[in-house]
Structure 1
């Protein structure tokens, strides 16, 4: 029997029928009728810490398909080479290994399904000698991978572990003659790189262990596994992976995890406890749109997010639990990590995103070490960094940390967590701004305008993007100082540095603007293709400049149009792709903020049609980068619900093509849950529930709505800018509707999906339509 949400929202007389989540999500399960042969087209499962992909790598024996295991925090921890700051090759993600699943016969085909509701892979592998069924998952609450096989028709399955040498993938590339030349690259080519000891194999009580110490004893990883059952019938692999540093407990932890799994299997609670987490996770919010492809892509991102993040886990890097040899082997802080930590906010999946602020708090001392010793009480971080956030920034403008701290601020703002805003964010942001102030004092710019100028900073990725008064830095410094002032005032902290922050807000140089809108900087116009929207950061996501004033809206529209015309439509070839996934999603969100619904939809669709987006919704530019498909979900949120500037805007960016759309319990800044519905292009109602008692400003396209607070109609005036200010206390809710409350159609239910539009992703006849299928899995075939 299908599990349904036990909670029924009852606000202002609303009664929402439970959603049959299993039936709804099964429409969007990914399916495979082709043999997956690489990372980008493989089924994947994870629990934020451990995970695996299932595919037959190119060159592998035809009777073997592998479980490519990963551990999200499996990083190297080598000490610096002499006085050099830590090099990439010393602080990198590391390869782990894989389990070979070997059949007697050669594999001839597959029929696999990744069920979103249970987060489980099931199906059949066909061979020349018979077949075997599989049932596999990464346990949601225990770091254990479960992989069951059931051989049929005379088949027999052998499962064996094959560890990989833990060598930094960048080192491999450099040793092979690849990679850039000069600076730190040449240092890495010549730096000593002794390999770790060989792994040690052991066995105890039916469990096997592969213990891999890292170089100089700085970290260790243990893979433990147990295989029970009959290879020619049913057998079960349970495997646990644990990485530890500075502790030395990986073997004990892996053993404990396997014993816990053994006990749960005996009690027959192992599978049910795994499913329990996911069955609580999905109903945290709901949305449905009359666009099956976009709806499916969205819900696969919710699955991916739940598989890649946990509140007690590492900072989400470019791969999450799914390792791939990469030239980008750490956390990237000049865009990627920021985009990854937007998706959970409006989706109301707040606990997942706590991994970022939790780790920033944990490694606050390391952030303080990333600046010169002479910069007292300051903090920064380099553009890329390992999980412990130790990455010296060489005394530059500390922009990267400021942007990451904007994510910290957003998390607190959406959570309505004023205590953490004061006690967690404020001291970190204060040190970050001290870094700016130190930089400004050491590198003053002489000028006659009385303004504070920034002598030298960088607009990430823009060719020749180093110079004075860079808009990227202006936006971040202005946001950071204003945020400190706001927190200081709200909590009456009377901070002695407040006058300095106010001086920056009052006197910082204005954004650099020309006839094409926002420039890169004082002496750098925007005139080269540029996939990154670093010069637009003051608009999106910081909302330092907003389209609320007509002149600003016009300037922002000019800037956005010019960015895309130069970057996508110019025909100029550049080293980086002229447009990447995050270019498209950034454009979609920004057009949604401007209220240009058609353009927002165009760029949302652009992402799905991007050849580098795989048919499983993974994304790579040669190297995996998880942020782009996740930010697709953020675009959907921005098209349905916005809350920048502390004001709620419902359906501001929703395209006309989505005439039927509904969502329930999407979250906004100020900690409001919003539920709303359109039918035949007409908004039926908007309900706003306050979780924290914040000031509530709501904009809706309902003309002259009736407004009910806790079921009673109220008279609420409309401001000149089109917002209703509704007085809501914590726990109260308001409904805006075009008709009397008792006449409103409050039903929220999935929009029906035809058979032809079900299961549109994975690797199958239905995915042949996608450029990503042709790019990653070229074949001579056409869809049936």
Structure 2
């Protein structure tokens, strides 16, 4: 059976475009654009003195400012100012603002009390330049674009999203100049730090409008091109000038420039595809795919807590006891491994710093990572020992989904080994003859009380996973590591995960879960490590723990529900996973961002992984097809999702059962999968390319198929009439364009 895709990508993604009918008035509901380095959040303000302004709040991820004091005072992200489209009249309604996902640009028609402004904005996919194109009628011909350094932003706008007194803002000296029609704004923080912004305006006489669906050119047509450089030197200024000067602003030139931007995104989206019968969650998922590529790229910095969309926050950096790990969690199954390279590159670049983060006595063989840092990963290990090991689990996934042996040999194996050696220095033999860990923090449990516990679940599970993985990796690499005997001994003698007979997994040896706990650190063995929950006894224990945890309402956050959804999915509880995802939607902002005291980008991104986990999972050397489909989902489809072992999987689910699976091997690894087709009364058929399929069925009803590198097989229900087409599920019309402007009534089922 031939598998063919029937996906009209522009039409499919347009049903998920974010849409505003009234102006967004906060970061929480702003329209966002970005290219992994430079970003802008676009919104307005309700104060009568600023109702004529549409803000483009700028961010560049590598612009940081140093603080004096202890090692914990790492260089932090700082706000860098904004462009303001200042109109003659007040913004009126109904306006229309759209984030066109397929083309990764914002388009708007904005009526005012004086006229109308038509607008298009994007940040180029492959150059650090923002483009804002506008056209006005006669009433708004006085509209203008102005740049404001952060200190010069109107206080009404600067404080619109609140002031976080924990946020460090340096003293900023601002210098503005104009040279050869390019305006420069240099913001200096001292110590040679700061940023350089450069922009230039082109009128309709010098630039042609773009073709196709783009806004028409009128006599008030203008284009603003802007770039931001990290640094305040003459070279930074020259680099900014060069970025702007190399853009050909003739009609053909700018059309070609924008075409290369669009081509990048048009190549990006089709790497994989999912469609589900819940339009809210389907839209949410695809906006996260847009957000991922707007927030990081393979050759850029790792994602921090806010991505390139800076605003008021107490967390202006990287946090490693959950945030970074969860931010990258959807890239693997989504077959977007190139985005995961930004994390891998950071680990490669700062390996020496990771060694320096541990006490000097341990640096000969160990490495670690504290709770938070800047991009240099300078974060001495304190009371959270396992953060680097968890980060190495992300690295392991990058390896397992790509089967890149160079990554395993050159980075993953030696760095994971060092992270486990740190634990080995801390292990103690107890009176029971077992190996125990001293008191440590279980992330987020009793944080303000600084609670510590012996044998924390977080650390025991990471240590066990690390030893198992090192043994597996050393065998694959054919390394006769002298520590193999010690790793085996640890696995044999390590104290079991602490369990409360009634409440389930404990926080650690000293604490059961007795009050609200927003983190799933006491369930890490179940998810994401997948080293517990496999037997019926462990599964029952995990379910009991999960439900007790979520019932403790005191401190749950959005990411609590992403974790709960993925845990439920790992346990095969599809209906429960869906309930947790629907609960998450009440935490998500109208533009799919998430914020507590400040932005924490990992929560919606981890929500995308939870949706993936309902459709496809791969762990324990098994590929699980539709492992946690909710009962109300009678159909679902995905194409080219990736699994461990380097497989691309496509599948169709109809009328409450799997109809079709296509699996392609990219690395020639063993292929073993779990599917309801193995239980079908009608039986199933396996077809392989140009050969008789070689397969067998194991006692657990898993199907093992022999596939060489580049080979594929198709499995389908006997007697199936499916034609092998991968196509979107028919959408519910009233649920188109769910996100964007604030539409709270939709959460409660009020029909459109």
| TM-score w.r.t. length of structure 1 | 0.88
Three-state SS of the structure 2 residue aligned to 1:354 is helix
1:485-517 per-residue CA deviation (whole Å, 9 max, x = no partner) reads 211111112222323222222221111012122
Aligned to 1:452: 435
Q: What are the superposed Cα offsets for residues 184-229 of structure 1, whole Å, 9 maximum, x if unpaired?
A: xxxx9xxxx9955512222222211112233211x33111111111
Asked if 1:664 is matched to 2:639, the reply is yes
Query: C-alpha separation between the residues in 2 aligned to 1:436 and 1:256?
Result: 50
Match of 1:126 among 89, 111, 115: 111
Choose the corresponding residue for 1:98, options 73, 82, 87: 82
Moved more, 297-306 or 228-237: 228-237
Distance 1:197 1:69, change over 3 A: closer
Does structure 2 conserve the Cα–Cα contact (< 8 Å) formed by 1:29 and 1:116? Answer: yes
1:736 corresponds to which residue? 715
Q: Which residue of 2 aligns with 1:691?
A: 666
What is the distance in 1 between the residues matched to 2:138 and 2:424?
A: 73
Q: Which of 343, 365, 370 pairs up with 2:330?
A: 343
- 1:688-736 per-residue CA deviation (whole Å, 9 max, x = no partner) reads 1111111111111012322222254536322122211111111011122
Q: 1:714-773 CA distances to partner (integer Å, 9 max, x unpaired)?
A: 3632212221111111101112211268x5431111122243121111116x554248x9
Which runs of 5 or more structure 2 residues have no equivalent in the other structure?
154-158, 205-217
Residue matched to 2:477 = 491
Of 267, 271, 283, which residue of structure 1 is paired with 2:270? 283
Change in 2 beyond 3 A, CA 1:623/1:652: same
Q: Match for 2:460 among 474, 477, 483? A: 474
Q: Is the 8 A contact 1:36 1:763 kept in 2?
A: yes
Report the equivalent of 1:393.
381
2:54 aligned to 57, 61, 65, which one? 65
**Match of 1:759?**
737
- Equivalent residues in 2 for 1:587-736 (5 A)? 587-608=564-585, 610=586, 612-702=587-677, 703=680, 704-710=683-689, 712-714=691-693, 716-736=695-715
Instruction: Determine the structure 1 residue equivalent to 2:8.
Output: 20
Change (3 A) 1:197 1:630: closer
Question: Is 1:115–2:100 an aligned residue pair?
Answer: yes
Distance of aligned partners of 1:178 and 1:760 in 2 relative to their CA distance in 1, 3 Å threshold:
closer
Instruction: Please tell me whether residue 140 in structure 1 is matched to residue 117 in structure 2.
Output: no
Q: Deviations over 1:220-262 (max 9, x none)?
A: 31111111116970111111112159x9843232222212334
Do structure 1's residue 29 and structure 2's residue 17 form an aligned pair?
yes
Q: Is 1:199–1:210's contact at 8 Å kept on the other side of the alignment?
A: yes
Partner residue, 1:4: none
Cα offset, 1:526, TM superposition: 1.3
- Tell me, yes or no, if the aligned pair for 1:707 and 1:713 is still in contact at 8 Å: no
1:326-355 deviations in whole A, cap 9, x for unaligned? Answer: 011111111111111111111111111111
SS at 1:523 equivalent? coil
The one-character-per-residue Cα deviations of 1:266-295 (angstroms, maximum 9, x if unpaired) are 623111011011000010011111221221
Q: CA deviation at 1:633?
A: 1.1
1:504 aligns with 2:490: yes
The Cα shift of 1:597 comes to: 1.4
Runs of 4+ in structure 1 off by over 6 angstroms are none
Q: Spell out the pairing of 1:544-623 with structure 2 (5 A cutoff).
A: 544-547=531-534, 549-565=535-551, 567-568=552-553, 574=554, 578-608=555-585, 610=586, 612-623=587-598
* Residue pair 2:34, 2:40 contacting (<8 A) in 1 also: yes
- Tell me, in whole angstroms, the C-alpha distance in 1 between the residues paired with 2:468 and 2:46: 53
1:633-654 CA distance string (max 9 Å, x none):
1111100000011210001101
> For 1:261 and 1:214, how far apart are their aligned partners in 2?
30
CA distance in 1 between partners of 2:65 and 2:54 (Å): 28
Shift of 1:19: 1.7
After TM superposition, the structure 1 stretch with the greater mean CA deviation from structure 2, 129-138 or 622-631, is 622-631
Give the secondary-structure state (helix, strand or coil) at the position aligned to 1:430.
helix
Cα pair distance change 1:707/1:194, threshold 3 Å? closer
1:418 matched to which residue of 2? 405
1:372 aligns with 2:355: no
Q: Please, which of 198, 222, 238 is the counterpart of residue 252 of structure 1?
A: 238
In structure 1, the partner of 2:208 is none
Distance 1:500 1:469 in 2: 19
Tell me how far 1:57 sits from its aligned partner.
3.4
Contact preservation (8 Å) 1:96, 1:166: no
Aligned residues: 719
Secondary structure in 2 aligned to 1:457? coil
Map 1:213-232; keep pairs closer than 5 Å. 213-217=188-192, 219-229=193-203
Pair 1:670–1:166, CA change in 2 (3 A): farther
1:436-463 residue CA offsets vs partner (Å, 9 max, x unmatched)? 22333xxx45x22211110111111111
Aligned position for 2:214? none
Contact 1:144 1:261 in 2 (8 A): no
Secondary structure of 2:50 counterpart: coil
The alignment's C-alpha RMSD in Å is 2.4
Superposed, 1:286-305 pairs within 5 Å as 286-305=273-292
Counterpart of 1:184 in structure 2 is none
Asked if structure 1 preserves the Cα contact closer than 8 Å seen for 2:695 and 2:706, the reply is: no
In 1, the alpha carbon distance for the partners of 2:420 and 2:452 equals 20
Contact 1:412 1:420 survives alignment (8 Å): yes
Tell me what 1:571 maps to.
none
Alignment match, 2:30: 42
SS of aligned partner of 1:344: coil
Q: Does 1:748 align with 2:726?
A: yes
Secondary structure, counterpart of 2:118 in structure 1: strand
Question: 1:778 maps to what in 2?
Answer: none
Contact 1:130 1:153 in 2 (8 A): yes
SS in 2 for 1:599: helix
